[in-house]
Amino acid sequence: MAAEVHIDRGRNETELERCDRNLVELLQEVRVVQTGVQVLFAFLLAAPLTPMFARLDGVGHAEYFVTLSFAAAAAILLIAPTAYHRLLFRCGDKEFLVAVANRLTLAGLACVGMSMVGAMVFVADALFAGWAAVLIGFLAADSCIALWAVLPLARRRELRRRGALRRP
């Protein structure tokens, strides 16, 4: 199998070369997202140290903790592909590594979206309260869902319908 060449996608690469390319692309994408998650996580960790935090009610504290939890989960999930890669380095299991890293990254992106929505709701609730915070939360959630899931999945469905969907 490793000597099989995939020419149908305009690439002349073996299965192993394809796995190598996919892993490199995935890890580069994760690096971009990790920075944002780390900044958000740092902001959230610093929030309880502010004077305004003590004035929050139970709902505000719950919003904060749920958002912090999603940011922590996102960081853990997005760092996991690097740990997998280091621990499975030179084990000859690259296809498994790419598949697991892809799943971890998708789960991490979902947590990033939820933590971003939570952060928007948390801040909007502190600034405006009530319906404005809910509206801002819905707008943030709709943006993440539309741009990160609905539109790419619609394109994927269109490609599949036309028979143009290719393996990565």
* Per-residue confidence (pLDDT) for residue 10, from 0 to 100: 65
* Per-residue confidence (pLDDT) for residue 49, from 0 to 100: 93
**Domain tally for the chain?**
1
Residue 9 lies in a domain: yes
Residue 167 lies in a domain: no
* Per-residue confidence (pLDDT) for residue 5, from 0 to 100: 39
Report the alpha-carbon distance of residue 40 to residue 115 in Å, rounded.
8
pLDDT at 95 over 80: yes
Residue 99 lies in a domain: yes
Which two structure tokens, joined as six digits, stand for 44? Answer: 């959230």
- Contact predicate 94/19, CB 8 Å: yes
Residue 49 lies in a domain: yes
* Per-residue confidence (pLDDT) for residue 6, from 0 to 100: 40
Arithmetic mean of pLDDT, 75-98? 89
Half-sphere exposure of residue 74, counting CA atoms within 13 Å on the CB side? Answer: 28
Mean of all residue pLDDT scores within the chain:
88
Residue 166 lies in a domain: no
pLDDT at 167 over 60: no
Radius of gyration (C-alpha) of the chain in whole angstroms = 20
Domain that holds residue 76: 5-161
Residue 70 lies in a domain: yes
Neighbour tally for 125: CB within 10 Å: 21
Residue 168 lies in a domain: no
**Sign of the CA dihedral with 97 first, then 100, 106, and 112 last:** negative
Residue 137 lies in a domain: yes
Report the alpha-carbon distance of residue 5 to residue 15 in Å, rounded.
7
Whose CA is closest to 122, among 54, 51, 65, 55? 65
Would you call 14 helix, strand, or coil by DSSP? Answer: strand
* Per-residue confidence (pLDDT) for residue 3, from 0 to 100: 44
* Per-residue confidence (pLDDT) for residue 168, from 0 to 100: 54
